[in-house]
Structure 1
C-alpha cells in the first residue's frame, strides 16, 4: 500500500484478468499492483503430461511384455482423434492440471481388471462422470425450442463481452437472430417471458445479483449457469433442435 507508516500486502487469486479493475477507483489508487499470470498448459504440455502419467516405466516390477503392451495401448488411445476431441471438450471446461489429474485417476480407477488395459471407452466413462450432468440433462430433455433460442441468445451476448444482460436485452438478441436468419420460430414476448422463467426454475439461468429485487424480472440482470460446451452438447443431442 502507498503509505510509509503502515504497509500491508494483499494477495488475491482470480480467474479474471481484469480483477483489479473491478475495484473502486479510490481503492485501486491505494495499491501498487503486481500481477502474476498463470496460463493454462499448452497442448504440447498436456500431451507430455499425459504420456508421463499414463505410461509405465520400463524398469517397473511388471513383466516387460505387459509394460510394452500397456504403453502401446496408451499411445494408440492418445493418438486417436476421438480421444483428442474428448480431451479438448474436457479442457474447454476446466484446463487446470488438477482437473486433468482427476480425469486420469477416474479413468484408471475404472480400468478393465481382466485385460489390465485402458480403453477409449474407459476415458469416455471418466469424462461422463465428471461433467455436470444435471444441467446437461435439463437442456437435453426439459428445454423447448424457444428455451434453446433464449440460451443461445444469452451465450451470444456473453461472446460479445456483454457481462450483464436481462430479459429485454436477450429479446433484442432474439429479434436479431430472427431477422438475420428469417426463422419460422417466432414467439410473442409474453410467451418468451414464461420460457425465461422456466429456465430460471430449472436453474439453467439465475439472477446475477441480489440487488435490484424491487425491479421486475424482465429488468434484473441474469447469467448462465451452463457452460458453452454443455449447451453445444445438449443442443446436438436434443431431439427437436432445428
Structure 2
C-alpha cells in the first residue's frame, strides 16, 4: 500500500509539471485573454457584471456631458421656477402694457442666473414674435467683460438693433452719432409698439468706470423716449445698485430677482439623478438615442443588472455615512457645476476600480474637490497666521460681522498655549500678510490706521477646518480650540 501511494503521488506531480510547462509554452496574449474572460464573467459588485458596469458608466458619462441633461436638472428646481416666474412677470408687463422697466437679476456664481434669463427670453420671443414678420420683441446683449468701453458698447447696441430690425449699420459712426441713433430708434419703436430688452451681463463692472457714462446714457435715453424697453442687469454682487452713481441709480428701479444658491438637499437630489442609469434603454429621455447601438440596453439580463446597479448606488447614497459626507460637502457649494464635477470624479473612480460606488470613493472625491486655492495656501502658512484665522472664526461665531486687529489680538491671547507666545508686532505683521494674500478683507474708511480698520474673513469655516486638519505643524492645543468652534 505504501508503494502504491508513492506511485500515485509521483504521477500527480508529473501531470502538474506537464500542465505548467504547456502553460508556459503558450503565448502570453492567449493566457491574458483567458484570464480576462474568466474575470469578466465574475460580477463587478453584487449582481452587476464587469462588462455591464463598464457599459453603465459609459452611459452615465455621455448623459453627464450632454448639455440638455444639465438644463433639465436645473429647470426641475423649485427655486428656478420661482425666479423664472418673477422675471417673466416684469418683462411681460413691459411688452403688454408698454411701460419702462429695469430689474437686477442677482445671485451667487453658479446659481443659474443666465439659465433663468434665457428660459424667460426664449418663451417670450417664441410667444410674441411671428415667423416671417418683423420682430415685435428684440434683445440687445452687452457684457461688462467685452463692452466695458462706452464707445464700443454704443456701437454694439446700434449693430444689434440694426440686425434685429433689418436696418443699415454704419461701422464708422461716432459716439454722438450712435447715441443719437439710439434715441431715434427707441422713439420709432415706441410708435410701432415694439419692445427692446437690454441685457447687461456683469453689471457691476460698468459701475467701476468713471462717471458710468454708459449706464447714464442708456437709462436716460429710455426714460426720455418713453419707449417700451426693459433693462435686465446680471450681477453676483448684491450691493450692485449701491455702487451706481446717483444720476444712474435714480433712473434704475430697485426691483430685484434673487436666484438663491441651491441648498444641500438640491445637490444630493441632482447627484442621485445623474448617477441613475435609465431603465429600458440608454436613450430613454432622447439624449442618447441612436448615438451608439452598443449602449442600448435590451433583454431581461440587462434590465436586472440596471436595477441592481441603481439599487446599489441608491443604497450607498442613502446611508448615514454618505449623507454626512454629502451634506458637509454641499453646504459649501451645491451648484450644478459642482455636482457634475463630483459625478465625473465618481464615474472615474468606479471605472478604475471596476466596482460600484463605495463610501471610500465618495469621501475621496469630495475631499479632492474641497481643496481650494485658499486651502492649499493655508497648508503652508505659519502657526501664527493659522492662529489668527482661528481667532477671527471664533469672533464670527459670536456674532461679530466685522472686527479690527485689536479684537483679533485679544482673541489670539486667549488661544495661546503655555509654550507659545506671540508679540503684538509679530501679530500685526501676520494680519497685514493675511490681508495682502486675500484671506482677510478690510472694509470701511481706509484713512484709519491699519490696526483700527474694520475687517472680515474671506474664508468659510469648512476651509479653515480642512487647513487645521492637514497642517503639518498645527499645535494640538489649537486643534482642540478649533474643534470646539466647528462642533
- Give TM-score scaled by structure 2 length: 0.40
Given the superposition, is the C-alpha separation of residues 153 and 124 from structure 1 closer, same or farther in structure 2, using an over 3 Å criterion? same
211, 229, 235: which one aligns with 2:468: 235
Cα drift, residue 52 of structure 1:
1.7
Given the superposition, is the C-alpha separation of residues 95 and 161 from structure 1 closer, same or farther in structure 2, using an over 3 Å criterion? farther
Cα drift, residue 217 of structure 1:
5.5
For residue 225 of structure 2, what is the aligned residue in structure 1? 5
Cα drift, residue 50 of structure 1:
2.3
> Structure 1 CA distance, aligned partners of 2:409 and 2:226?
54
Given the superposition, is the C-alpha separation of residues 200 and 160 from structure 1 closer, same or farther in structure 2, using an over 3 Å criterion? closer
Cα drift, residue 53 of structure 1:
1.3
1:57-77 CA distances to partner (integer Å, 9 max, x unpaired)?
221317233212211221122
For residue 423 of structure 2, what is the aligned residue in structure 1? 188
- Give TM-score scaled by structure 1 length: 0.74
CA contact (8 A) 1:112 1:118 kept: no
For residue 388 of structure 2, what is the aligned residue in structure 1? 150
* Structure with higher strand content: 2
RMSD: 3.6
| Structure 1: runs of 5+ lacking an equivalent | none
Counterpart mapping for 1:127-138 below 5 A: 127-138=366-377
For residue 45 of structure 1, what is the aligned residue in structure 2? 266
For residue 205 of structure 1, what is the aligned residue in structure 2? 439
1:158-209 CA distances to partner (integer Å, 9 max, x unpaired)?
96332xx6xxx13323315646x796565321121233355467x3636659
CA contact (8 A) 2:329 2:366 kept: yes
Counterpart mapping for 1:1-242 below 5 A: 1=219, 3-5=223-225, 9-60=230-281, 61=297, 63-113=302-352, 115-144=354-383, 146-155=384-393, 156-157=395-396, 160-162=400-402, 169-176=404-411, 178=413, 187-199=422-434, 203=437, 205=439, 218=451, 224=457, 226-238=459-471, 239-242=474-477
Q: Which structure would you say has the larger Rg?
A: 2
* Structure with higher helix content: 2
> Structure 1 CA distance, aligned partners of 2:235 and 2:328?
23
CA contact (8 A) 1:40 1:96 kept: yes
> Structure 2 CA distance, aligned partners of 1:229 and 1:43?
14
CA contact (8 A) 1:235 1:241 kept: no
> Structure 2 CA distance, aligned partners of 1:106 and 1:140?
24
> Structure 1 CA distance, aligned partners of 2:364 and 2:358?
10
